[in-house]
Structure 1
């Protein structure tokens, strides 16, 4: 049953972000950002469609077709604008944290869970069996937006395991490494790409129903990945088409 949502509450400027689970693998995120009348109309249209799934040519739509129809109604394409440093000719983007509350664990598309060995700054992918599920890393995800614009085709996120320990990407001797790095929460309220702080950010995208990819913001086309076969292997960065690597994850 789709929850009833009062339209007038969407205009409250202090509205907290809320995740509403509509169905398995389908969530509705209500942001604290002030809504336009067009945005509210799109939201109401989407909810009405969810309550009464449409049909096409006399047949009921599949899950993928239904989700695509909903996304077409509520997603607007936007362009990320950059400030330009005219003295150097370089573009500059600053990201502002807008919330940080969603907690979850991660498993890859073959059900290996993400764990951390005690004291280690690397993560591993392991198939956990009964009685050992407490070993899973509990992540906390903060969402960021480029200042002055809305998110584009993906959410920009920071992945943390404590208030001060976060996932980051660094280039060492020509090799991109995924590690856990200590950085205070206050230093990450705003992140600028010209200060190398964008190493902490990832683009979170839906890759399939209930599966997501995480692409490095600083190093485009590099994704968080696990081994497709081997156990107890490190979680590493890879290109999307790298053989033997899995780049899709489920949030649990």
Structure 2
């Protein structure tokens, strides 16, 4: 590490921040312009004798890179040999840097967190029941088929409880991503292509992943005036839908505000 020698008045360093180009001049240093002042470095009175340089600093503040230039240059000039009559040029400064510092390559290791097509990772969950705006509740039939029907006192226990899991999704996306699971049976709603048409189905999964979830399980949840829509992330503009008729299967439809119902009301049980 460079050692700062004892400060004397034999040498003066005054820097002008407003013009870096004035550090060296073609005609040599000018005491009136406030540059690094030094006598003949090769004379008998040279301040470089016995590898010592005397400095005097002004109170004027200096930028970091300017200070580095001065310190490195001084340390190098301590060991200069031969004639010093030649002016110090930009190339000389570059040679000082290359002789002191060693260039090393920077190794970049790619991150594969977002390399998968599915970037969804678990965030939180809540339990809830779901019914459409016509007050038909979502239930599970004996054939493990999700249906919507009106419930009353004797069949109210058919209402299924969903575990709605929230996932962090695509970078920059403002959408709310959820996975819907019938809690009792570990049946997950998913969207697949069947006979050339996006179709809603149930998949039983014992240990559902908490990261890198496949897109077919993801629904974009939108709430407007306390009503909720579930849009398929795999097939945009296709929504979980119910029929106007009672006891019909829940399906994936691409018509909003029409005969089919795409608006639902959630009852939070958490």
| TM-score (normalizing by structure 2) | 0.53
| Number of the residue aligned with 1:6 | none
1:211 equivalenced with 2:227 (yes/no): yes
Displacement after TM superposition at 1:180 (Å): 1.0
| Number of the residue aligned with 2:134 | 110
Displacement after TM superposition at 1:176 (Å): 1.8
1:143 equivalenced with 2:162 (yes/no): no
What SS does the corresponding residue of 2:157 show, helix, strand or coil? Answer: helix
Uncovered stretches (5+) of structure 2, i.e. residues with no partner: 1-112
Give me the whole-angstrom Cα distance separating, in 1, the residues matched to 2:187 and 2:197.
22
Shift in alpha-carbon separation, 1:216–1:110, aligned structure 2, 3 A: same
Match of 1:121 among 120, 124, 144: 144
CA contact under 8 A between 1:121 and 1:179: conserved in structure 2?
no
Q: Which runs of 4+ in 1 moved over 4 A?
A: none
1:156 equivalenced with 2:171 (yes/no): no
Displacement after TM superposition at 1:114 (Å): 0.5
Q: Determine which structure has the larger strand proportion and give its number.
A: 1
Uncovered stretches (5+) of structure 1, i.e. residues with no partner: 1-82, 86-90
Displacement after TM superposition at 1:191 (Å): 2.6
Question: Could you report, residue by residue, the CA deviation over 1:63-95 in whole angstroms, capped at 9, with x for unpaired residues?
Answer: xxxxxxxxxxxxxxxxxxxx887xxxxx93411
Shift in alpha-carbon separation, 1:84–1:117, aligned structure 2, 3 A: closer
Give me the whole-angstrom Cα distance separating, in 1, the residues matched to 2:134 and 2:140.
18
| TM-score (normalizing by structure 1) | 0.56
| Number of the residue aligned with 1:133 | 156
Question: Could you report, residue by residue, the CA deviation over 1:155-210 in whole angstroms, capped at 9, with x for unpaired residues?
Answer: 10010013732111111111222111022334x21235xxxx2111100011x321
Q: How large is the RMSD of aligned CA atoms in angstroms?
A: 2.4
Give me the whole-angstrom Cα distance separating, in 1, the residues matched to 2:136 and 2:192.
24
The structure whose Rg is larger is 2
What SS does the corresponding residue of 2:160 show, helix, strand or coil? Answer: coil
What SS does the corresponding residue of 1:132 show, helix, strand or coil? Answer: helix
Give me the whole-angstrom Cα distance separating, in 1, the residues matched to 2:247 and 2:189.
19
Which region of structure 1 is more displaced relative to structure 2, 210-219 or 171-180? 171-180
Displacement after TM superposition at 1:123 (Å): 0.6
Give me the whole-angstrom Cα distance separating, in 1, the residues matched to 2:242 and 2:194.
20
1:166 equivalenced with 2:188 (yes/no): yes
Displacement after TM superposition at 1:242 (Å): 7.2
Give me the whole-angstrom Cα distance separating, in 2, the residues matched to 1:108 and 1:99.
24
Question: Could you report, residue by residue, the CA deviation over 1:25-56 in whole angstroms, capped at 9, with x for unpaired residues?
Answer: xxxxxxxxxxxxxxxxxxxxxxxxxxxxxxxx
Question: Could you report, residue by residue, the CA deviation over 1:117-148 in whole angstroms, capped at 9, with x for unpaired residues?
Answer: 12x2321110111232111010001110126x
1:180 equivalenced with 2:195 (yes/no): no
What SS does the corresponding residue of 1:121 show, helix, strand or coil? Answer: coil
1:245 equivalenced with 2:263 (yes/no): no
Give me the whole-angstrom Cα distance separating, in 2, the residues matched to 1:132 and 1:182.
24
